[in-house]
């Protein structure tokens, strides 16, 4: 158990079952004792979720990291939940394939954790999320019983979509044992255009133009000056202005055409400097964006993201803002002053986000912050009774990650 784990979870003990049967037995014993179970992957997102309710068992999947089936010709793979994203990428790369999901700390993050937290990065716009690649899984419910959904082939439409039901539920419906995924071919090349702009108004103009452009990017991101220059990769400086980053992947011919097309469309814009990053530099930039440390995440319609940025800047002028502009996802790293009084900031921000018909969640709840479940996830919604009924079917005693999720 790492120090970080102990900081976020009140664990009495930990176990690392070597296989699905041992995983089920561990949950079964914990259920008999009504002992809380806290699933552990790579420990990269322990700060995500509400504070835990009671001491319990840490159930690590690190020993469950085998490739169970790789049907490369069918573009599918089945692996155990403890496999790291980096190792999965290496296995797939040997057949010129990939899972095109940007994950922070891929050397530690696991595929089970990726599914449980629904983690995504800047290329969500073009490649969507892990939910769109998940075709089957096996997991252990709160009674210690193994259940399965979907299968190992893409054309599988039988029954309820149980696999996607578990995406983003933080292991509160089941401890994931293995997953089956669709994969994609490795892109021949990639490129990313970085435009330095005088402000958000200029970014809005270029974003509006993108909606009518023939270019088809896989990522569209806006970063304000709050991130500073210290974290910029490859020596890229920051002059205190807004940056718009538009990324492309595909064949060399189509990427070159899209880059030239967009550069032409930006020719008479307010962009003061446009830089082209090559394949390696683009990968580094996408990973850097995926790693950005944020306290909060808002989800709004893409067309309302700019207005939300301005409203957030009024509440916390020192806030660093990163927007996956094609999806309306706004990530916020608060100033030190605002982060020190997170409940008060949330009380100001939530009504603003609601005005834009959006939602706001806490991504990083610092230890000792004393946030309530409603602080982290927002007030109860109309669908909560349905969600609660589902939770009770999968985990009747409420032992799986209690208190961490919305229910």
Per DSSP bridges, beta strands 296-299 and 359-362 are antiparallel
pLDDT tens profile 87-142: 999 999 999 999 999 999 999 999 999 999 999 999 999 999 999 999 999 999 99
**Residues comprising the chain, all counted:** 407
CATH 3.30.465.10-classified regions of the chain: 1-186
Return the structure tokens found at 138. 């096996």
User: Within the chain, which residues score under 50 in pLDDT?
Assistant: 1, 3, 229-240
pLDDT tens profile 168-203: 999 999 999 999 999 999 999 999 999 999 999 999
Per-residue model confidence (pLDDT) at position 158:
55
Per-residue model confidence (pLDDT) at position 232:
42
Per-residue model confidence (pLDDT) at position 236:
39
Q: What is the pTM of this model?
A: 0.93
Per-residue model confidence (pLDDT) at position 367:
66
Residue range 189-355, CATH number = 3.40.462.20
CATH 3.40.462.20-classified regions of the chain: 189-355
37-40, strands of its sheet edge to edge: 11-15, 56-60, 37-40
Per-residue model confidence (pLDDT) at position 7:
81
Per-residue model confidence (pLDDT) at position 382:
85
Per-residue model confidence (pLDDT) at position 233:
40
* CB atoms inside a 10 Å sphere around CB 173: 25
1-186 has CATH 3.30.450.20 classification:
no
Nearest in space to 189 (alpha carbons), one of 231, 251, 232, 273: 251
């Amino acid at each position: 158990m790492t120090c970080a784990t102990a900081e976020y979870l009140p664990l009495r003990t930990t176990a690392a079952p070597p296989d699905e049967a041992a995983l089920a037995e561990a949950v079964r014993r914990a259920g008999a004792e009504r002992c809380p179970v806290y699933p552990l992957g790579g420990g990269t997102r322990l700060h995500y979720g509400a504070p835990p309710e009671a001491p319990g068992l840490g159930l690590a999947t690190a020993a469950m990291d085998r490739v169970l089936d790789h049907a490369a010709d069918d573009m599918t793979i089945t692996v155990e939940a403890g496999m790291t994203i980096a190792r999965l990428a290496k296995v797939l790369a040997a057949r010129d394939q990939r899972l095109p999901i940007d994950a922070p700390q891929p050397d530690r993050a696991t595929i089970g954790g990726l599914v449980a937290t629904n983690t995504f990065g800047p290329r969500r716009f073009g490649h969507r999320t892990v939910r769109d690649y998940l075709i089957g899984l096996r997991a252990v419910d709160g009674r210690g019983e193994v259940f399965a959904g979907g299968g190992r082939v893409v054309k599988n439409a039988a029954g309820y979509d149980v696999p996607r039901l578990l995406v983003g539920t933080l292991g509160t419906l089941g401890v994931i044992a293995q997953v089956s995924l669709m994969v994609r071919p490795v892109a021949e090349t990639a490129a990313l255009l970085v435009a330095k702009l005088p402000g958000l108004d200029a970014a809005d103009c270029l974003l509006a133009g993108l909606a009518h452009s023939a270019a088809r990017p896989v990522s569209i991101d806006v970063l304000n000056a709050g991130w500073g220059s210290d974290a910029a990769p490859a020596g890229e400086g920051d002059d205190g202005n807004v940056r718009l980053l538009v990324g492309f992947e595909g064949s060399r011919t189509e990427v070159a055409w899209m880059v030239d097309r967009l550069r032409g469309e930006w020719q008479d814009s307010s962009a003061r400097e446009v830089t082209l990053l090559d394949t390696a530099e683009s990968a580094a930039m996408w990973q850097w964006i995926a790693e950005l440390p944020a306290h909060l995440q808002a989800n709004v319609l893409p067309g309302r993201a700019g207005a939300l940025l301005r409203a957030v800047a009024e509440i916390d002028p020192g806030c660093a803002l990163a927007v996956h502009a094609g999806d309306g996802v706004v990530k916020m790293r608060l100033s030190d002053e605002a982060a020190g009084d997170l409940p008060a900031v949330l009380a100001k921000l939530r009504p603003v986000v609601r005005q834009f018909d959006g939602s706001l969640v806490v991504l990083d709840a610092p230890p000792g912050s004393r946030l309530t479940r409603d602080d982290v996830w927002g007030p109860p919604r109309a669908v909560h009774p349905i969600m609660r009924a589902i939770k009770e079917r999968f985990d009747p005693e409420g032992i799986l990650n209690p208190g961490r999720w919305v229910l």
